[in-house]
Structure 1
Amino acid sequence: MNWGAVWAIARKDAMVALRTRAVVLPLIIVPLVLMVGVPVLVGLISGMATHIDAPSSDMTELTNALPPDFGEQYAGLTEVQAGYIYFILYLFAPMYLVLPLMASSVVAADSFAGEKERKTLEALVYTPTTDRELLLAKILGGWIPGSLVGLVGFIVYAIVADIMTLYVAGRIVLPNPLWLLLAFWVGPAAAALGLGVTVIASSRVNTFQEAYQIGSLIVLPIVLLVVGQAAGAFILSNWLVALMGLVLWIINAIIFAIATATFRRTALMARL
């Protein structure tokens, strides 16, 4: 394995992508909206409801669905306060996965398709690397930025969420084991899943937009997680999050194995 060439291509991909407006804008706007805007907006509404003693809805079903230790940790809170903490810790958790998934997909969409648009693909395919090394470089070029965006997003979210939960309920709730698992175990796996699918798509289409549109379909399972929690079908727990990460890593290994077996740079040249 020519790791020098692999890292050189991966580094070049990341740097080129981060100079592209179509890549940079989503990497700025989406984290700000998700990690800052949403918790602040919901927190302000919850805080106002708490301070004006607004009537709260019946949360018996929600309380019964929560992990047993939730009631013990947050005993004495009003229903509005407990509801906001539930939102911060559980309901919003699947939405966090959009961040590493989106970031890696955006960068990966620019890999082969971006090379075609910039007319640099021919030089790339003649680099002294094997097909496996070239594919690995393209994957690392998206996975590293995607994972970093996810980790930075987690740090920002934890700070913002703690400020808002202090305002609403007088408590600091993050980081906790569930969110640490999300940030350091499931997030990188989600980033790998997004870029694996998108890199394969990027090698088979001609434009960045086509590759990104195909890769964005990976967000659908996250939407199902959000809907499932909101409907009370399940509540994320530490073991469930750990299992979810394991499943994602297994899927990633399968995707990478298939991609390695089917990727041929000669096919790229044929589509130039």
Structure 2
Amino acid sequence: MNWNIILTIAMKDLREVRANKMAWMPALIVPLIFVVVMPLLLIVGPQLLPIPAEELNREMGDLDAMMNALPPDLLAQIRGLQGLQIWIVLLAGFMFAPMFLIIPLMLASVVGSESFVGERERKTLEALLYTPATDRELFLGKVVAAVVPAVLITLFSFAAYTLVVNVSAYPVMGRVWFPLVTWWPLVLWVAPAIATLGMAASVLISSRVSSFMEAYQSTGMLVLPLLFLMIGQITGLISLSVVFMLGLGGIIWGIDAVLLYLGVAQFKRAELIARL
């Protein structure tokens, strides 16, 4: 296996994604919304409302189910807080966590979906398939192109989110309180697994469909489990503790291993050439 060839393929894919506005614009806008716009709306918005924090807390509804679902380490963070402080910790520190995973999933899916469909649409797939690279090297080149940038941008987004949350919440919290301990396994363990899952699924799909949008829309179904995860924690069915995050990441990495194995085993350039 020649890693120079793998990295060359990955860099070529990334250059082509950068040239495709339909591919990189969502990759820019979605993190901006999740990292800046939504936190500011959730944290600064209630601070500007002309009503007392206690009344705002009552109007938000009954939070007992969410409180019961909190892991002990997060309950320790909330103990002693009042009104708007609890709202900020619950929303920015707890409920927003599954939504943050959409960033690595979407970024990896964009590059993965662009991989072979984009080559076919630009009429460059045939030249790529006739390169001296092996089938495994071609496939792993697509993997590196999708996962590594997704993980790096996710880490940058996490740093930016930490800054935005702490600065915007400081007038209410009076201290730097984020990130919570549950976010570390989320970002360092679960997010790379989610990125690999999005990439593996999108590469397999993109080699069998005819357009970038068709491949991208097909991988969009992977967002549904993240929505179920968010609903589960809101309703109290699950608790996003450190142990839960480690277990969830382990399960996803197991699925990734199976998909990658199938991808390498089923990826045959002869079949792709036959579809041209």
TM-score > 0.5 by shorter chain:
yes
Measured at CA, do residues 68 and 185 of structure 1 come closer, stay the same or move farther in structure 2, by a change above 3 Å?
closer
What SS does the aligned partner of 1:18 have? helix
Two-structure CA RMSD over aligned residues (Å): 1.6
Match of 1:5 in 2: 5
Q: TM-score, normalised by structure 1?
A: 0.94
Measured at CA, do residues 95 and 23 of structure 1 come closer, stay the same or move farther in structure 2, by a change above 3 Å?
same
Match of 1:259 in 2: 263
Q: Say whether residues 1:128 and 2:152 are aligned partners.
A: no
Match of 2:216 in 1: 212
Match of 1:15 in 2: 15
The runs of 5 or more residues in structure 2 that have no matched partner are none
Q: Within 5 Å, give how 1:134-213 maps onto structure 2.
A: 134-213=138-217
Amino acid at match of 2:81: L
Match of 1:28 in 2: 28
Kept after mapping to 1: 8 A contact 2:190/2:249: yes
* CA deviation vs aligned residue, 1:179-231 (integer Å, no higher than 9, x gap): 12111111111000001000011111111111101111111100111111122
Q: Say whether residues 1:96 and 2:100 are aligned partners.
A: yes
Q: Report deviation, 1:124.
A: 0.4
- Tell which deviates more after alignment, 226-235 or 89-98: 226-235
Kept after mapping to 1: 8 A contact 2:69/2:233: no
Q: Report deviation, 1:51.
A: 6.8
> In structure 1, how many angstroms separate the alpha carbons of the residues matched to 2:192 and 2:75?
31
* CA deviation vs aligned residue, 1:144-174 (integer Å, no higher than 9, x gap): 1111121111111111111122133223222
- State percent identity of aligned pairs: 40
Q: Report deviation, 1:60.
A: 4.1
Q: Report deviation, 1:49.
A: 5.0
> In structure 2, how many angstroms separate the alpha carbons of the residues matched to 1:190 and 1:135?
18
The runs of 5 or more residues in structure 1 that have no matched partner are none
> In structure 2, how many angstroms separate the alpha carbons of the residues matched to 1:59 and 1:204?
46
Count, aligned residues: 272
Amino acid at match of 2:205: A
> In structure 1, how many angstroms separate the alpha carbons of the residues matched to 2:146 and 2:92?
28
What SS does the aligned partner of 2:19 have? coil
